[in-house]
């Protein structure tokens, strides 16, 4: 039986190659976007670090989006691929190592984006400290709590959406198996549309519920600026765990490899 560590290493290898291309393209695009500033000389002024971060952040959303899309695509292929499903490993280990390897690869892209922020901070410590002290006057000691909460919300949100996407994919595969062999593509498209609509509807309901919970604990503790995001992260993480349990069951009972 293949260990969880070895399985994670196998899956991570392919995903590292993918995010490596994304990171390379991200850096190249930043350098190309800097050319006008280099030619007019503004990049060689004292504000070079701010200009660099501005260009890096302006493209970071695209790098993040591409990383999420490609990692999702690679992850979903694992569940129906002979290459991975025929490895002597339990479905639970396969699912968890697939999620973990995707998360590690995604974090690598985020760390590269963070490097540009750190460069700006290192060359503008006094200005950044002044801005933070004026923006968070009276709560400077708790700024790190807010940042930690936002990071946790981001990670929980990623895990939630990956679990939800896997649920839609695995349910579609399982339902289509019970339908006639003819017109399978049409059946899957219809099932995808219905399940995506249901998922969006459920997410909107979940958002409303989380907002009400955050407001309630604000009324009780008057500290939602810190605890609200953490509650949101905890709820989304718990829901992601529940959905993941369903996904593992579907993977074990209903979904087979492509023949």
Q: Tens digit of pLDDT for each residue in 25-58?
A: 999 999 999 888 888 877 777 778 888 888 899 9
What is the C-alpha separation between 218 and 228, in angstroms, rounded?
8
Whole-number pLDDT of residue 215? 55
Q: What is the pTM of this model?
A: 0.83
For the ranges 84-93, 173-182, 243-252, the lowest mean pLDDT is seen at: 173-182
Q: State the angle between helix axes of 184-221 and 143-177 in degrees (0 to 180), rounded to the nearest 10.
A: 150
What is the C-alpha separation between 24 and 101, in angstroms, rounded?
20
Q: What is the CA radius of gyration of the chain?
A: 22
What is the C-alpha separation between 52 and 33, in angstroms, rounded?
10
User: Average pLDDT of 62-87?
Assistant: 88
Can you read off the two tokens belonging to residue 42?
Answer: 């503004």
For the ranges 57-61, 65-69, 208-212, 255-259, the lowest mean pLDDT is seen at: 255-259
| Banded pLDDT at 222 (limits 50, 70, 90) | very low
Under 8 Å between Cβ of 246 and 199: no
């Amino acid at each position: 039986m293949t260990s969880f560590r070895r399985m994670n290493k196998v899956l991570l290898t392919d995903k590292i190659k993918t995010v490596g291309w994304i990171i390379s393209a991200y850096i190249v695009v930043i350098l190309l976007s800097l050319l006008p500033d280099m030619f007019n000389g503004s990049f060689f002024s004292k504000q070079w670090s701010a200009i660099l971060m501005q260009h890096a952040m302006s493209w970071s959303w695209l790098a993040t989006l591409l990383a999420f899309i490609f990692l999702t695509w690679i992850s979903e292929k694992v569940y129906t691929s002979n290459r991975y499903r025929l490895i002597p490993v339990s479905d639970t280990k396969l699912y968890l190592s697939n999620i973990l390897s995707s998360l590690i690869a995604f974090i690598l892209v985020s760390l590269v984006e963070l490097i540009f922020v750190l460069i700006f901070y290192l060359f503008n410590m006094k200005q950044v400290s002044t801005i933070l002290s004026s923006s968070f006057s009276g709560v400077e000691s708790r700024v790190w709590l807010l940042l930690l909460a936002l990071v946790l919300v981001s990670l929980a949100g990623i895990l939630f959406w990956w679990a939800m996407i896997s649920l839609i994919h695995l349910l579609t595969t399982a339902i289509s198996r019970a339908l006639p062999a003819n017109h399978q593509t049409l059946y899957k498209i219809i099932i995808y549309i219905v399940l995506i609509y249901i998922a969006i509807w459920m997410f909107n309901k979940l958002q409303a519920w989380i907002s009400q919970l955050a407001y309630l604990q604000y009324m009780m503790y008057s500290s939602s600026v810190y605890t609200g995001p953490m509650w949101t992260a905890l709820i989304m993480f718990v829901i992601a765990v529940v959905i993941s349990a369903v996904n593992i069951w579907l993977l074990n009972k209903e979904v087979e490899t492509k023949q």
